[in-house]
A and B are shown apart, each in its own frame.
Chain A
Amino acid sequence: MRIHLYLLIAASFFVTQIWAQEKTEVKPIKGGTFVPLYGVDGAAVYIPEFLLDEHLVTNQQYLDFVKKYPKWQKQNVIKLFADDGYLRQWKNDTTLGENMLPNAPVTTISWYAAKEYCACQGKRLASMNEWEYAAMASETKANAQKDSLFNQRIVSSYEKPKTATLPIKSTYKNYYGIWDMHGLVWEWTSDFNSVLISGESRKDGETDRQLFCAAGSVNATDLMNYAAFMRYAFRGSIKANYCIQNLGFRCAKSIKK
């Protein structure tokens, strides 16, 4: 292992290009409409067809990325774009931490870093609505919002500690062929902070009628909303420079007409 890594490092000095990261396959997400938890006037939103990475960006892929773009290495990163937690568990600029799996999702990366990574792949981050739309799918259904077992499973997976260190493709593959939409890590989206949650979730009802309606409509059959509440609450608590141990990302791509 050590020799292997050593070779990797040595090689990267000379033939950086050859070590370009492994490309992630994208899967088409068929367009359609859905009602987001915090949508405008409870209206359905139309999501045009787009492409989404079939798995999360891995530690190995991100390692290759920082080798190619040293300005995103731990030591070089501009502090404005990533807080002190950036790649915190990495041994150094170009070596993963001791117990980190190369095929586990990369975490402790800021929104700026995630955005840049995707751009360098000719991709982009998914919007929050795109992400939520693709995440409604269970193994068998494009929209599993009414499937109480699926929803209970999601809520439970959010409670399970230390899932960020597991390898990708270790939970489930959904209807579109996308892995681990729930169960490993939270994911950055391009407009994660477009819904403002103040942190005082009871007051949000007052300041934003939509939040209030959503909160009011929750009943025993709306388990999907509880999972969504947790995601939106999480997104509301973060800033673009935060680097969090349970937060990763995957990239998306528009389909050119």
Chain B
Amino acid sequence: MNNRFLLTIKQGMICLASTAILVSCGNDKPKKENALTVKTNGVVQAELTAPPHVPAPIGDRSAKKLKVDMEILEEEGEMTDGVKYVYWTFGGSVPGSFIRTRVGDEVEFTLKNHPDNKLPHNIDLHAVTGPGGGAESSFVAPGQQKTFSFKTLNPGLYVYHCATAPVGMHIANGMYGLILVEPAGGLPKVDKEYYIMQGDFYTKGDYGEPGLQPFDMKKAVEEDADYVVFNGKVGALTGDNAITAEVGETVRLYVGNGGPNLVSSFHVIGEIFDKVHVEGGSIINKDVQTTLIPAGGAAIVEFRVDVPGTFILVDHSIFRAFNKGALGMLKVAGKDSSAIYTGTLQEGIYHPEGGTIQVTPDAPAAPEAGSAAERIEMGKRVYSRTCFACHQGEGQGIPGAFPPLANSDYMQADVNRAIDVVLHGLTGEITVNGTVYNSMMPGQVLTDEQAANVLTYIYQEMNGSDVEVTPAMVAKVRASK
């Protein structure tokens, strides 16, 4: 509002200045539509979708009276394998249902609090111009419903959330979602659109501790999150739940951050955002690697996918991605394009001193393990450098993304296969302890000695097996390829 006012003054001053020189001052610029004067035409029931899907684009429809019916449900869900959590939801999902409107729509919003719920709730939509964003008018006891209405004035992507005391707790339990207000005529057409929202969760038990985990207010106040996840749970966007696209398509992600506490450094590994609607507003930034999404804020990111593969969505505050769950996948199918990305062309040993020196017999030998115990000790060091980030400290892996190495039937079934995976990597579907993983592990650049050590460590310390992998066994597998 202020900006528009300033603009008018500026234009006025320019007008004055130019009338002094010339005669008149016509306003050549196309007038921006004043949302307040947009007339609505007809009534339509809003399509609401659960993440990662979004409703159909508004296209060129006129402004309408848009009826939104949203039900609040408090229900038990799964945070990650074996960990239960009672989520409070808008529409039965975390984040809540996606609402799609256009500028000038008159939204008639009905909030229904399911009779089984224990608590009163309300909704504050950041797209609302009015006190509390609707919070006061929508405060509703269990078993009741409230209706209020508002006109969408500013285009953009907005967060909505519950604002009932204690506000932080309602948000921490999953009460947030996104509402999109498209400009007249709609956003430019793209091939794929998805809905992703980050949130942090605070549980009594630490990450992965099984059972029904209650909300931990103390951790929430200290901002010490146990889980940082996309779409409400670990693995909501990995494996079979990954979002997909075809090579050559343009993908648009509506990304929000519910918080309650943490700010997201949203990044897609192996992609550059062609366009980012910064903070969900009208500024468009181009060629962005990582975009910051504040708690209670959003961004629209767009990119064309040019090469096939699995692209990992992360909060680039990277421990959140690998240790707390903030990880998703975009699987792109289609033909390779070596002009853009070749993959590994050649492997070789890097000799900083120049090749000739390396072949002298005086080069100091890398340390070799003298005993099985030494092998385990040295293997542990390799593990913490090479394997830890994905397969985690205890070899437990990350559900939905990285299979466990500890007590793993896959490891125990075939030693030579395990050696091969370490040396050459593995792509595609495998089943470990009854769970299907479909991911990609690169081949590791390790010497025979190092590979033998780390595998021995994994077998003996994590699987209680007495398998000792020797450098000779590794060499044999290496030679066989």
Please report A residues at the B interface, Cβ cutoff 8 Å.
Answer: 85, 88, 148, 152, 155-156, 158-163, 186, 197-204, 215, 218-220, 223, 226, 229-230, 232-234, 236-239, 242-247
Contact = CB atoms under 8 A, between A and B. Distances in A.
The 5 closest A-B pairs by CB, nearest first: A199-B139, A237-B120, A201-B165, A200-B132, A156-B214
Contact of B139 (A226, A236, A245): A236
A237 B118 CA distance: 12
A241 to B, nearest CB: 11
Contacts of B122: 199-200
16 contacts: A152-B204, A152-B218, A155-B169, A155-B215, A158-B119, A200-B136, A203-B136, A220-B221, A229-B166, A232-B165, A233-B164, A237-B139, A237-B144, A243-B143, A244-B115, A245-B115
Interface in B142-175: 142-144, 163-167, 169, 173
A-side binding surface: helix, strand, loop or mixed? loop
A56 to B, nearest CB: 15
A85 B115 CA distance: 9
A232 B142 CA distance: 14
B139 A198 contact: yes
A181 B140 CA distance: 24
B288 interface: no
B74 interface: yes
Contacts of B287: none
Nearest to A153: B214
Given A159-B86, A199-B135, A199-B164, A223 B218 contact: yes
B163 A201 contact: yes
A97 B341 CA distance: 67
Given A156-B214, A201-B167, A230-B166, A245 B144 contact: no
A85 B163 contact: no
A234 B136 CA distance: 14
Nearest to A223: B217
Interface string B212-248: 0011111001100000000000000000000000000
Interface residues of B, number: 38
Given A159-B215, A232-B165, A245-B115, A200 B120 contact: no
Interface of B: 74-76, 86, 115-120, 122, 131-132, 135-144, 163-167, 169, 173, 204, 214-218, 221-222
Nearest to B122: A199
Contacts, number: 122
Contacts of B135: 199-202
A233 B118 CA distance: 11
B205 to A, nearest CB: 12
A243 B221 CA distance: 34
Contact of B136 (A152, A199, A229): A199
Contact of A161 (B86, B164, B204, B216): B86
Contacts of B222: 220
A55 B76 CA distance: 28
A223 B221 CA distance: 10
Given A161-B76, A200-B139, A219 B144 contact: no
Contact of A246 (B136, B142, B165, B167): B142
Contacts of A163: 118
Nearest to A215: B165
A203 B131 contact: yes
Contact of A234 (B137, B141, B214): B141
Given A156-B215, A200-B132, A202-B132, 5 more contacts: A152-B204, A159-B173, A162-B116, A200-B136, A244-B115
Contact of A233 (B115, B120, B214): B120
